Amino acid sequence: MATPQDLVQAYRKLLRAGLRAVQFAQPSRTTLTRQLRAGFRDPRGTFDLQRVRHTVWFLNAAAQQRGLEHRILKNLCRVHWERENEASRTPWRVRVRRMEMEEQGKGRKGKDEDVIKGTQYEHYERTVAMLNDTMGLCLR
């Protein structure tokens, strides 16, 4: 069981290493802090000191040179930022039309139901999970 001091130290180490890795640049900085906060606030989350240590090493390697680690981190931040801002880029007319269509079609299901909706990031999430498992990381 991790003590509160261990959690605070892990959070600070991850935050410092992550900010150095993204070179304090926006929007990666805010994306990184949001993901880190969400990970530490998740009640279902687990704390593994070895995974935290490996992740700090990964982030330090991303900060030192623009190699594979840097590109992985850059793409992770970009995807999370795009996912957060996806709704804001949709024109309001399209959003209103979608809401009206959902209200009209609440009672019926069938041909109009979109099977792909909600699965667009499934492959991406599995790839990140496999990367975490093979390297012993805790990236989100």
Tell me the pLDDT tens digit for each residue of 2-35: 888 999 999 999 999 999 999 999 999 999 999 9
pLDDT at site 80: 93
pLDDT at site 129: 95
Written as six digits, the tokens of 126 are: 């599995």
Does residue 60 register a pLDDT over 70?
Answer: yes
What gap in Å lies between CA 64 and CA 69, rounded to an integer?
10
The per-type count for the chain, helices as H runs and strands as E runs, is 7, 0
What's this model's pTM, rounded to 2 decimal places?
0.79
Does residue 82 register a pLDDT over 60?
Answer: yes
